[in-house]
Every structure is written in C-alpha cells, then in structure tokens.
C-alpha cells in the first residue's frame, strides 16, 4: 500500500505555475482582485501588470476603444487607473449610461442632428458637490454619473426627452442641466425634496425625482405631478410614475427611442406607404378610415369618416404619406384597430380595405397621493377665495426655474 503524500510537498503555489496558465487564471479576476495581486509578490506584481489583462476591464467598465487608447498613448492599466481615480464611484453605472448616451447621439445624428448641438458638456465632481450643498440633499450616483457625461441640454425646441404636435397640443421636454434643476428644487407641500429633471417650455410640466421618501413617494422615484386644482390640501398631488431610478428611467427611454418605440423626433405617428417595387397600376387613393377604439373597461367607440385629417392622399409606388392624429381614453389603457378604404386609380370601380392591426396604448403607473387617501372627500370642495388656474401654476413653475416665456407654438420639425 502506497504511503500517503506529504501535504506540504503536495501543496501547489500559484507562483510555481508557468507564466501562460498563470496569466490565464489572472484573466478571470475582477479589477479589485487583479490590483490586490500586485501586492502579493514580485512575480505576481509583474504578471498582474500584463497590459492585455487590463484591456478587458477598460472596455467593460469605461468603454475605452482601441482608437481612444491610441490617442491617449497610455497602457491599458494606466488608462484604467486614471479613469478610476476620476469616475471610480460610478463604476456600477458608467458603462450602462455611457452606452445609452452614445446610442442616443448616434440616433440623433441620423434623425435630428441639430439636437446634438443642444447637449451640454459634462460637469465636474465639485459642481455636483456644490449642488448637493445648495439643496441640502444627496444626489443619487446614477444621476451624478449621467451628468459627468452630459450636463443635460440647452432650453431649446425640440426637447431631448420628447416632442410632439397633436392637433393643438404641443409639447417639447428638455433635459435640464444641473444648475437649472437645482434652481427648481422643491420644498413646498406636495413636492417636498423633489428635483426637476425635465421641463416643457409650452406646458410648464416637469418630471421630478424624489430625493427622499416623503409624502408617499419612494426615494429616487421619477414622476409627473398631477395636482388637484379642487383640493384644499396642496400636498394632494397624484403621480404618473415614469421610473424607479434615474438609471432605469433614462436607459429605458433611450432604448424606446432608438428602437422606434417612441416616434418623438419626427413627431409623425401614422405612416402609409407603398413599396417602390409595386407596379404603377397599383396606385390608389385613400377614401375613408374606420377605427374601433376599446378602453380598459371594454367600452367600444367606433369612428368612421372620409379621408384622414381632412386629406385624401394618393399612394403610388415608393411614395410615403404621414400624418398625425390622436384620441382620448377615459381609462389608463386601451387599444385601437381598424382599416383604411382605398380605390384604384387605374380601375376606379375597384375598392379595397387595408387592415390596421390592433395596437395598445398604456399610461405610466398611476399613484394616488397619500394626502388624498387620508383626507375626507368633503375637504375637496372648491374654495371660492382661491383663484388657481393651470396658467397660474405654469407661470409659477416657469419663474421658479427662471425660464423665459415661450415665443409662440412649437414648430414641427423633421
């Protein structure tokens, strides 16, 4: 029977491994462990400084490209360390937010290049620290990280966070820079410790981020306020929740934009086109439309009439017709479906329908204010001494944010 091996003799030290397998092992380590290896021994210090090991971390956490490395004329390890010294507190968020910004800029470059000129350069750490001191609240790291990439945008039309023109309703929402946002920081009832993220020049509406868990809001929740003009209690502000954190709010919005989920840049919603490969005799003209509109309660409304928005477009091979239309719902969700009726130009007695597949519309999550739930309904009577209007509220918000009055209606843009 063989004698048992001496455990001390059988123990294998990593340092005794050949260089190639040891480098392979080191390649699986995270940046923290790889840095720790530098202090274990001279050999591990040399091997953990092997530059290709740091290339992966530079690309994973900071999205550094080969081209950028060449411009910096530094090693991968030096780039990682210098970037970490500046942005290390944001290492959990930086790559995700930087990719979102890069994707958005690429999309804007193709669809709306003039909007890129409205983006502001990044802010410094000390600027963000100064804002925290000014408002007396800590800013979440994902918000700070985003502003280390871009400091919002100038107050222009179209707004980065959505633009549309529906009938007589115009909207253009800008992403506020850090100083304008800090100037609009709220301490009043109903919006205590809330920071505005966006502002619409035409409606005065903003999306806010709750910096503390007060008045029934979750910390860092993002929402549109819905003030009740009939309420005596000013804190009776319901909310449409648009995000649970800045990271989720911004990245999900960008994803919807670049994938076509939000047609906000060219502000056209419905599109009719004919393939350029179609035969000339396929040319036709739209005669009428039919819509079947169903709300969340199952109530159905049918709309049928000539043309679309008063027009009877002719569709021929390769031609595109676009128009904007809207409807209203008494519930927070619903769906529409229908068809267009056309007649052929070459065979005038020939009519046909083109089906419009069902599509759904859903409002963001709605949250009733705690003040409303805790207050007796009798307190919601109108106070005759008060003279509060939507216009008054808009003017108050505009003054708080120090934003000039809009000069006319929001122009359509392509």
Residue 98 has pLDDT above 80, yes or no: yes
Domain(s) of CATH 3.40.1580.10: residues in the chain: 94-265
Listed residue (402, 362, 97) closest to 247, CA to CA: 97
**How many Å is the maximal CA-CA distance in the chain?**
103
pLDDT digits (tens, 9 = 90+) for 344-360: 999 888 999 999 999 88
Find out whether the peptide bond into 18 is cis, omega within 30 degrees of 0.
no
By CB atoms closer than 10 A (0-12, 13-18, 19+), residue 127 is: middle
Asked if the model's pLDDT at residue 21 lies above 60, the reply is yes
Confidence of residue 340 (pLDDT cuts 50, 70, 90): very high
- Residue 267: band (very low, low, confident or very high) from pLDDT cuts 50, 70, 90: very low
Q: Any idea what the Cα angle at residue 254 is, between residues 250 and 260, rounded to 5°?
A: 150
| Mean pLDDT, rounded, for 18-38 | 92
How many Å apart are CA 350 and CA 356, to the nearest integer? 20
Residue 257's pLDDT is 86
State what percent of residues in the chain have pLDDT above 70.
Answer: 79
Q: What is the mean pLDDT of residues 275-299?
A: 94
pLDDT the model gives residue 165:
66
Beta strand spans in 191-283 (E): 194-196, 198-200, 207-210, 222-227, 237-243, 270-273
Strand (E) positions, 91-189?
163-166, 169-175
Tokens matching residue 329: 């719902």
**Nearest alpha-carbon partner for 288 in 278, 303, 300:** 303
Q: CA 160 to CA 162: how far, in whole Å?
A: 6
Could you tell me where the beta strands, DSSP code E, fall in 32-162? Answer: none
Q: Helix H segments across 27-65?
A: 31-37, 42-48, 51-62
CA distance 274 to 282: 9
Half-sphere exposure of 109 (CA within 13 A, CB side): 6
pLDDT value of residue 412: 34
pTM of the entire structure? 0.74
Query: How much is the pLDDT for 398?
Result: 44
Range in 5-14, 132-141, 318-327 the model is least confident about: 5-14
pLDDT interval class at 167 (50, 70, 90):
low
pLDDT for 265 equals: 44
Residue with more model confidence, 349 or 175: 175
Number of residues assigned to the chain:
414
Residues of the chain with CATH 1.20.1280: 17-89
Is pLDDT above 50 for 216? yes
Say whether pLDDT at 378 is over 80: no
Read off the tokens for 70: 């060449």
Residue/partner pairs of 363-368 with CB below 8 Å, 24 or more apart? 363/240, 363/332, 363/333, 364/224, 364/240, 364/241, 364/242, 365/240, 365/241, 366/238, 366/239, 366/240, 366/241, 366/332, 367/216, 367/223, 367/238, 367/239, 367/240, 367/241, 368/238
Q: Which of the pair, 376 or 332, is modelled with greater confidence?
A: 332
Q: What is the residue-averaged pLDDT of the chain? A: 83
For 17-89, give the CATH class: mainly alpha
- Rounded distance between C-alpha atoms, residue 205 and residue 200, angstroms: 5
- pLDDT of 379 higher than 80: no
User: pLDDT: is 414 or 121 the higher one?
Assistant: 121
Average pLDDT on 29-48 reads: 91
Q: Indicate the range of 151-155, 170-174, 210-214, 215-219 predicted with least confidence.
A: 170-174
- Beta strands 222-227 and 207-210, pairing class: antiparallel
Task: Single out the residue of 338, 172, 178, 333 nearest to residue 246, CA to CA.
Answer: 178
pLDDT reading at 409 higher than 50: no
Residue whose C-alpha is closest to residue 72's, from 60, 58, 85: 58
User: Topology of 94-265 in CATH?
Assistant: SMI1/KNR4-like (3.40.1580)
Fold of 268-362: Immunoglobulin-like (2.60.40)
pLDDT at 289: 96
Tell me if 154 sits within 8 A of 120, measured CB to CB: yes
Structure tokens at 85: 């010294």
Q: Confidence band (pLDDT; 50, 70, 90) for 258?
A: confident
Backbone angles phi, psi at 170, to 5 degrees: -115, 140
pLDDT at 315: 94
Structure tokens, 136: 């007396």
Query: pLDDT confidence of 329, banded at 50, 70, 90?
Result: confident
**For residue 261, what pLDDT band results from cuts at 50, 70 and 90?**
confident
Which range has the worst mean pLDDT, 44-48, 151-155, 365-369? Answer: 365-369
Query: CA 77 to CA 55: how far, in whole Å?
Result: 7
Q: Taking residues 79-104, report their average pLDDT.
A: 97
> What proportion of the chain, given as a percentage, has pLDDT over 90?
55
The answer to whether the beta carbons of residues 166 and 326 sit under 8 Å apart is yes
Q: Report the C-alpha gap between 285 and 269 in whole angstroms.
A: 20
Between 278 and 414, name the one with better pLDDT: 278
* Chain centroid to CA 324: 23
């Amino acid at each position: 029977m063989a004698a048992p091996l001496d455990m001390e003799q059988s123990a294998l030290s990593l340092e005794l491994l050949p260089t190639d397998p040891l480098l392979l092992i080191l390649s699986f380590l995270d940046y923290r462990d790889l840095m720790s290896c530098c202090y274990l021994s001279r050999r591990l210090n040399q091997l953990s400084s092997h530059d290709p090991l740091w290339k992966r971390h530079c690309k994973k956490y900071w999205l550094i490209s080969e081209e950028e490395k060449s411009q910096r004329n530094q090693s991968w390890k030096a780039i990682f360390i210098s970037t970490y010294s500046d942005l290390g507190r944001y290492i959990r968020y930086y790559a995700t937010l930087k990719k979102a910004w890069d994707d958005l800029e690429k999309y804007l470059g193709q669809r709306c290049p003039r909007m890129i000129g409205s983006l502001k350069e990044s802010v410094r750490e000390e600027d963000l620290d100064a804002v925290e001191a000014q408002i007396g609240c800590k800013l979440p790291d994902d918000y700070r990280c985003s502003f280390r990439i871009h400091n919002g945008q100038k107050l222009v039309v179209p707004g980065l966070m959505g633009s549309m023109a529906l009938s007589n309703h115009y909207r253009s929402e800008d992403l506020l820079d850090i100083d304008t946002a800090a100037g609009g920081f709220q301490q009043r009832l109903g919006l205590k410790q809330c920071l505005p993220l966006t502002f619409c020049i035409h409606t005065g509406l903003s999306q806010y981020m709750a910096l503390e868990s007060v008045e029934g809001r979750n910390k860092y929740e993002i929402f549109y306020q819905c003030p009740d003009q009939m309420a005596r209690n000013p804190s009776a502000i319901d909310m449409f929740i648009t995000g649970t954190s800045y990271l989720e709010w911004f990245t999900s919005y960008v994803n919807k934009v670049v994938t076509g989920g939000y047609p906000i840049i060219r502000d056209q919603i419905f599109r009719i086109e004919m393939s350029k490969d179609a035969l000339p005799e396929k040319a036709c003209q739209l005669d009428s439309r039919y819509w079947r509109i169903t709300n969340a309660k199952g109530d159905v409304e049918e709309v049928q009439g000539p043309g679309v928005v008063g027009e009877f477009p002719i569709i021929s091979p390769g031609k595109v017709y676009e128009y904007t239309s809207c409807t209203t719902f008494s519930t927070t969700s619903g769906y529409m479906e229908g068809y267009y009726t056309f007649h052929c130009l070459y065979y005038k007695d020939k009519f046909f329908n083109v089906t419009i597949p069902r599509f759904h519309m859903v409002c963001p999550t709605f949250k009733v204010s705690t003040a409303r739930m805790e207050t007796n309904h009798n307190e919601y009577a109108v106070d005759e001494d008060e003279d509060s209007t939507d216009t008054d509220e808009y003017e108050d918000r505009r003054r708080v944010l120090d934003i000039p009055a809009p000069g006319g209606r929001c122009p359509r843009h392509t």
